[in-house]
Amino acid sequence: MSEAINTETHRHRQAILWILRVTVALQCLGNWRWLTQVEETPLLHWLVNASDVGGLGWEESTALMSQQVLGWLVLLAGAIVLWRPLPAVLGIVVIQQILVSVAMWQNADGYPLQSQWLSPQLLTLFPFATRLGRIVAPLGLMLLVMRGKQSAEHRFRMQSVVTLFRGSMAVVFLTHGIEAWQHNPKFLDLLIGSSLKLFGLSLSQSVAEQILTVIGGLDIVLAILCLGLRWPSLFWWMAIWGGITAFSRVAAYGWNLGWHECFMRVPHIGVPLTVALWWHLLKYDSPAEPPAGSANNTPERAV
Amino acid sequence: MQQFFSKRIDPLLLALLFALVVTGSLTNDAYAEATLEGTNPAQWRLVWKDDPATSATLCWSTAEAGEEHQVHLREAESEEPIVVQAKHNGRYSAKEPTLFYHCAQLSNLKPATKYYVVMESDGQRSPEMYFVTAPVDDVPISFIFGADSRSGHQERRKMNSMLGKMLAESHTAGRTPILAFAHGGDYIFDGRRLDHWSRWMSDHELTVSPEGQLLPLIPARGNHDVGPLFNEVFAFPAKDTNYYGTNLGPKVRLVTLNTETSVAGNQRRWLEKELATMRPERRWLLAQYHRPAFPAVKVPWTNLVYWVPLFEKYNVDLVCEGDGHNIKRTVPVRDFKADPTGVVYIGEGGLGVGQRTPKTRRWYISPDDAKTGVGHHVQLITLDQEQLACRVVLMGGEVFDEHFQSARSTAATLSDTAP
């Protein structure tokens, strides 16, 4: 019985690691295309922007070359992660993701959140929140593959990563929910374009806005629920929704223009999937010992 | 048959260059650098929207709220000014700095007429300036297109001074008068910050000509111009989506679009209706907006999918784009191919912002009959009964590019080939 449980546990652990490895690899592929082929990224704009507006004022050729180097490094990192998830290699991906977020912050790029009670300076930090899932996917994997001396330490690290993932998904869904609630024009056009291309359905803007209001409300509710409930179905849904929204880029823009946009958002599938699988794993991992914070061993129970 | 890409240099252009050099010593400081103190009027801007032959909006800022704000409006031939109350007043919606806007709607104006204006807030008066309304007769006109003044502060000021001088020079005998300045967006770096806007509005005073002529502004919203301040600065209603058409004469229609709101939704439907209505009535149908559908540096915006087919269907004559920070003129484009009957895309923005290198291998800017470059610039667009001329004027007055195209025949104003 114990051997069967151990086998199952090992299988789940491996599944979690592989989900994250594939997630990061695809994320790297999308970022490689963005940085090296598309080239026009917030990072490039930050590098070439004049210093009077918070840019670094680099020569365009230097900035482009630096971005090319980073893009190819990221692709190499993605390939290495599939072969062997080395923490140092994952660190490169984390740094690249943070750099893009910093660039968006410095460029005042990203969705212009409308708020009367937050200062403009604070509002410019919004991209860190919307992009959190893309940062924590490689970061979480990096923490998981760091070797602990004892299994208890490893388990603690896994729980920490899952907590980090839960929190980050809450933030990502909350911020995207707010964007949808406020009818981000990009979301409107994605919805209108996708429904036309996939279903031949010509949505009016008012209908698209109503749909976005519902989606936004649902996202905000999910963000709150996922912090309060240990409910794997919630994260399964988040993963499916993450997949739908990522794929909508391909549906709206076509494969050639949209595939890297889709791949860059794969963490919105991989991260919630990891949380859901971890809770399944807990069923097998310590049947006699309920997971911390759980009243019993039923994952569906609120904590 | 269109006459594209003539290489001849217009003698009038040489005259313009000469005049710019000669008038280089003249400054428009008398109408710039207004002090933002108390209720002293400053940061004036004249905004044109639907019908600039008979209406305009004059806005200014004050450091204190004040109580009474008005414009003294006097027709050039008249001695008696009329007083127009500024009915659109308020505090700019930002925590700091504390500034107040005042906008007066000037209506029932006479076409092609010179009007003198003085702004007054609680007894404090601006210098007397003037503007000229758009014509209703079918006469040659010109206007300036430019974009991207969001950084490069000193260069922005130099470009604004040059605009003021170009305006003055264009109103001399034998020249086609410049009516307005279509700004294609990205005025400032962060549209949520009033300190950025305040600096831009003060710099905009430099566009007043040395003789005191206000250069009317036709504003388009850029990706950096986010937030409610844009509508306050340019006197749009609070929730306005900033797409509209402007008559620059009985035969010229400039359509201003907004790439920062939904491109595929209501705006696309409005655009189709606008173009369908205007194309049969207008000899020249032009559009301006910020993010390019045919960029020289960046990636195409979604207007490539939703607007370009309409431009081709209704044979828009010229499309002005910003955002790329370079100089661009595409080949005429139809159905993603170079086609002499197609639509020419110009612009990309150089009102101070650092310039980028155009990616000249792109098919729509690589042929010899296209043109790209680098440098702070504006496009001077002149339209008469037969021909459209688009000239790229660099900071300092040098003409970098000249492009001519003939008016389309009436039969060709609706395309059979476009979807």
**pLDDT at B6 (0 to 100):** 41
Say if the Cβ atoms of B227 and A52 lie within 8 Å.
no
**pLDDT at B280 (0 to 100):** 95
Q: Which of A38-52, A142-156, A264-278 has the lowest mean pLDDT?
A: A142-156
Give percent of chain A with pLDDT exceeding 70.
87
A96: its two tokens: 């690249």
Q: What DSSP character marks residue A125? A: T
Q: How far apart are CA A283 and CA A289, in angstroms?
A: 10
Say if the Cβ atoms of B264 and A188 lie within 8 Å.
yes
Residue B33 pLDDT more than 80? no
Q: How far is B208 from chain A (nearest CA, A)?
A: 25
Q: How far apart are CA B22 and CA A65, in angstroms?
A: 44
Interface residues of chain A, partner chain B, Cβ below 8 Å: 38, 40, 48-50, 52-55, 60-61, 108-109, 112, 114, 116, 119-120, 123-124, 185, 188-189, 192-193, 204-205, 208, 253
Option in A40, A49, A116 nearest B299 (CB): A40
Say if the Cβ atoms of B261 and A185 lie within 8 Å.
yes
B95 chain-A contacts, CB cut-off 8 A:
119
**pLDDT at B19 (0 to 100):** 52
Say if the Cβ atoms of A189 and B262 lie within 8 Å.
yes
Residue B32 pLDDT more than 80? no
Q: How far is A302 from chain B (nearest CA, A)?
A: 40
A116 chain-B contacts, CB cut-off 8 A:
93
Q: How far apart are CA B120 and CA B122, in angstroms?
A: 6
A42: its two tokens: 């917030």
Nearest to A179 by CA among A224, A135, A219: A219
Say if the Cβ atoms of B302 and A189 lie within 8 Å.
yes
**pLDDT mean over A57-74:** 97
A54 chain-B contacts, CB cut-off 8 A:
189
| Chain A with chain B: Cβ pairs closer than 8 A | 74
Say if the Cβ atoms of B189 and A108 lie within 8 Å.
yes
Q: How far apart are CA B63 and CA A89, in angstroms?
A: 54
């414009």: which residue's tokens? B71
Mutate to test the interface with B, among A53, A62, A250, A260 (most CBs of B within 10 A): A53
Say if the Cβ atoms of B264 and A193 lie within 8 Å.
yes
Rg (CA), chain A: 20
How many Cα neighbours within 13 Å face the side chain of B47?
A: 23
Q: How far is A237 from chain B (nearest CA, A)?
A: 28
In this structure, the number of other CB atoms found within 10 A of the CB of residue A11 comes to 12
Give percent of chain B with pLDDT exceeding 90.
84
Largest CA distance in chain B: 61
Residue type, B304: L
Bridge-based pairing state of the strands B114-121 and B69-75: antiparallel
Please tell me chain A's helix, strand, coil percentages from 3-state DSSP, rounded to the nearest 5. 80, 0, 20
CA dihedral B191, B192, B195, B196 (to 10 degrees): -20
Q: How far apart are CA A302 and CA A291, in angstroms?
A: 12
Q: Please, which residues 59-88 of chain B have a Cβ atom closer than 8 Å to chain A?
A: none
Q: Please, which residues 252-271 of chain B have a Cβ atom closer than 8 Å to chain A?
A: 260-266
Q: How far apart are CA B160 and CA B157, in angstroms?
A: 5
Q: How far apart are CA A67 and CA A73, in angstroms?
A: 10
Q: What DSSP character marks residue B29? A: G
Q: What is the pLDDT of residues B235-285, one digit of tens each?
A: 999 999 999 999 999 999 999 999 999 999 999 999 999 999 999 999 999
Cis status of the peptide bond prior to B309, with omega within 30 of 0: no
Q: At what angle do helices A151-181 and A132-145 cross, to 10 degrees?
A: 170
Say if the Cβ atoms of B152 and A108 lie within 8 Å.
no
- State pTM to two decimals: 0.89
**pLDDT at A2 (0 to 100):** 61
A124 chain-B contacts, CB cut-off 8 A:
190, 192
Residue B193 pLDDT more than 80? yes
Strand ranges, E, within B223-359: 244-247, 252-256, 284-288, 318-321, 327-329, 333-334, 337-338, 344-347
ipTM of the complex: 0.85
Q: In the sheet where B327-329 sits, what is the strand order?
A: B244-247, B252-256, B284-288, B318-321, B344-347, B327-329, B371-373
**pLDDT at A51 (0 to 100):** 87
Tell me the range of A83-97, A289-303, B21-35 where mean pLDDT is highest.
A83-97
Q: Please, which residues 340-359 of chain B have a Cβ atom closer than 8 Å to chain A?
A: 353-354, 356-357
Cis status of the peptide bond prior to A87, with omega within 30 of 0: no
B94 chain-A contacts, CB cut-off 8 A:
120
B356 chain-A contacts, CB cut-off 8 A:
48, 60
Say if the Cβ atoms of A49 and B354 lie within 8 Å.
yes
Q: Please, which residues 121-180 of chain B have a Cβ atom closer than 8 Å to chain A?
A: 150-153
Q: Tell me if residue A247 falls in helix, strand or coil.
A: helix
A53 chain-B contacts, CB cut-off 8 A:
150-151, 189-190
